[in-house]
Chains A and B, each alone.
Chain A
Amino acid sequence: MNKKIEEGVVFSILSFITMIVVIPTLLIIGYILLKGIGTINWEFLTAMPRQGMRAGGIYPAIIGTLYLVIGTILFALPLGVGSGIYLTEYAKQGMLSRIIRLAILNLAGVPSVVYGLFGLGLFVLFLGFGSSILAGSLTLACLILPIVITASEEALKSVPISYREASLALGASKWQTIQNVVLPHAMPGILTGAILGIGRAAGETAPILLTVAAFFLPRLPKSLFDQVMALPYHLYIISTQVPNMPEEIKYGTALVLLGIVGLFYMIATSIRIKFKISNRA
């Protein structure tokens, strides 16, 4: 009987703690939804900003963020998955792979503003990309690389050895085995990493501040070497730099940013589910 009570108490405490964890998320989303939803209309989403950003829309910032997220994923996913594959499948366990892993771990701990400075030095100035979508995407890609690599590694490691053996025993080469058996099975896990990375990339302000983001640019970018406005930076500016900014626009902008992150989550999640189903089938 005592055991039963103990069990009940532990269960209640743990479920209560979990509730507490969920509350901030719900509050943030709810609060922004409530304050921002009134601002959202067709004009807000598709018009250029006017009157020193106090009116009109946030169209260029939305497009800018979309470009940056897509650019970041295009760079980070192949690089991250590639190194994940190398580390789990090919690298010999030894000094070198330990150093690489340590470097990746450290990379994950670097503050985002340092990435911004790094991107400014390497991509913007040294490689001469200028303040551009290219430089911003590359900088954000560096930022989310540790997330993508770690997730890929974990996902690849979780593929049962029996699948690899079966494939190799059928005379498939190592690369064929990775392509046809290991990667499809690891894909949901890899995509989870990508999802987390997208969230990070879409929301970061400091790295894009120094490498791509324009303060005010009421037109769409013409090339990869063009600057863009981006939602997080725009939000920062209208919240701190522009006097007499209507409150609703700030919350509207925040809501759109949340919406875009949510949209990418949804796309990645649906791909993830598709892979999970085909893994079972």
Chain B
Amino acid sequence: MKKISIKDLNLYYRDFQALKDISLNIDAKKVTALIGPSGCGKSTFLRSLNRMNDLIDGVRVEGRVELENHDIYHKDVDVVTLRSRIGMVFQKPNPFPKSIYENVAYGPKRHGIKNRKQLDEIVEKSLKKAALWDEVQDRLNKSALGLSGGQQQRLCIARALAMEPEVLLMDEPTSALDPIATAKIEELITELKKEYTIVIVTHSMQQAARISDETAFFLMGELVEMDQTQRVFTTPRDQRTEDYVTGRFG
């Protein structure tokens, strides 16, 4: 079942075209990996799915991005609501300089949940889902900045999950982490896809191969190929994909 459907998406930074005629579908409750060399547009593409590109001056978007058949770029769409349905985790762990509790409660609080008991429940549930609860349950009121990088990133995932999003966008979430922390996040992603639709940008082809169901290969703003991950890595249709996944360039 498709969750997000992208049709003829073109994106420009002023005169520079960063995305060219991208059309693809993202399946519900699957992990879709976006791979490609630096500057190929995969992060830009990811950020166009929750309209984070809106924040950048001079960005122009053409085409349609449909979340369950509703165009998210339609003028009546409330970006705030959209972003509470589509959560995001960034490349560098970016917890707020607040307590662990306040980090997770941040989103729900901004959406009007004030009841302490309800917030407690959300915080606990989200931290458990992010596999962080056992490590932090007795220091919820301590600063989030005291956590290790891997813990911080899982906290950011918990913070996103607290909004009960339907889709989780991850922009190279493990590129700043050591192998052990990376393994934990990957395990977590595999667990999370039972409930969430996940789109992940990654530089590591092994990571894409390990955790994703579908893989899309981007090159110079174009979508070269998208297919089941296994196919992309074993029998790619396009020569450029084969060159990239076999490490001949990029």
Contact = CB atoms under 8 A, between A and B. Distances in A.
Interface of A: 92-93, 160, 162-173, 176, 180-181, 185, 278-281
Given A163-B94, A280-B97, A171 B143 contact: no
Contacts of B143: 280-281
Contact of A171 (B55, B92, B98, B111): B111
Given A181-B96, A280-B97, A280-B145, 11 more contacts: A160-B94, A165-B94, A166-B96, A167-B106, A168-B52, A169-B83, A171-B83, A171-B110, A180-B106, A281-B98, A281-B143
Chain B CB within 10 Å, residue with most, of A167, A171, A185: A171
Nearest to B111: A171
A172 B55 contact: no
Given A166-B90, A280-B145, A171 B96 contact: no
Chain A CB within 10 Å, residue with most, of B82, B97, B99, B145: B97
A164 B97 CA distance: 12
A170 B99 contact: no
B87 A172 contact: no
Given A169-B52, A172-B110, A281 B156 contact: no
B163 A171 contact: yes
B237 to A, nearest CB: 34
15 contacts: A160-B94, A162-B92, A166-B159, A168-B55, A169-B88, A170-B83, A170-B87, A170-B159, A171-B82, A172-B110, A180-B110, A185-B97, A279-B97, A280-B143, A281-B142
Contacts of A167: 96, 106, 110
A172 B106 contact: yes
Given A163-B94, A181-B96, A280-B97, A170 B52 contact: no
Chain A CB within 10 Å, residue with most, of B94, B143, B160: B94
Interface residues of B, number: 30
Contacts of A176: 110
Nearest to A185: B97
A241 to B, nearest CB: 54
Contacts of A280: 97, 143, 145
B56 to A, nearest CB: 10
Q: Which 3 pairs show the lowest CB-CB distances between chains A and B?
A: A171-B84, A170-B107, A169-B88
Interface string B44-70: 000000101001010000000000000
B83 A165 contact: no
Contact of A169 (B87, B97, B111): B87
B81 interface: yes
A160 to B, nearest CB: 8
Nearest to B99: A281
A166 B110 contact: no
B80 interface: yes
Contacts of A92: 57
Nearest to A170: B107
A170 B90 CA distance: 12
A166 B81 CA distance: 15
Interface string B149-160: 000000010011
B234 to A, nearest CB: 35
Nearest to B81: A171
Contact of B163 (A162, A170, A181, A278): A170
Nearest to A164: B55
Nearest to B57: A93
B136 to A, nearest CB: 15
Contacts of B81: 171
A65 to B, nearest CB: 37
A170 B92 contact: no
Interface in B196-243: none
Contacts of A165: 52, 55, 90, 94
Nearest to A166: B94
Nearest to A93: B57
A173 B90 CA distance: 19
B84 A170 contact: yes
Contacts of B88: 169
A278 to B, nearest CB: 8
Contacts of B90: 162, 165-166, 169
A15 to B, nearest CB: 34
Contact of A172 (B50, B52, B82, B107): B107
Chain A CB within 10 Å, residue with most, of B88, B107, B110: B110
Contacts of B87: 169-170
Nearest to A179: B110
A185 B97 CA distance: 8
Interface string B72-87: 0000000011111001
Chain B CB within 10 Å, residue with most, of A92, A166, A176, A280: A166
Nearest to A177: B110
A167 B107 CA distance: 8
A135 B123 CA distance: 51
